[in-house]
Structure 1
Amino acid sequence: MAQLAVVILSLFGQMERTYVSECAAHARIVAESKGKRAGWPCVVDPDKLCYVEHVCADGF
């Protein structure tokens, strides 16, 4: 009987995990359709990135 309870609890856990991943995928699609960037914000300053590209192109 205890094994049945464990199986049912793991089933509910897997269902919730699937539901959360589907909701996250839907939220990403909606955000991208509105022209917003999904995910973590970019932490690299565009000016610094341009400088690094310039330095790398010159060969250090």
Structure 2
Amino acid sequence: MKIAVDKGIKSFEKIITSINGFDEIEFEYLQTQEITNDKLKDTEALFIRSTTLVDKALLK
């Protein structure tokens, strides 16, 4: 499983590594402007900040 994560989410990596059971998951940390449709094609989940625009074009 691959999950894209906005680098702007403070302490995400620190928190997620302290929880058991996430060893099989690949986290890809992206700057907000790097979160594009192309980057998300093989991603199963997305953690973003509320300021990130999510629309049909991004998720298509």
Superposed pair shares fold, TM > 0.5 = no
Query: Which of structures 1 and 2 has the larger relative contact order (alpha carbons within 8 angstroms, sep 6+)?
Result: 2
Provide the TM-score with structure 1 as the length reference: 0.21
**Greater per-residue helix proportion:** 1
TM-score (norm 2): 0.21
Larger radius of gyration: 1
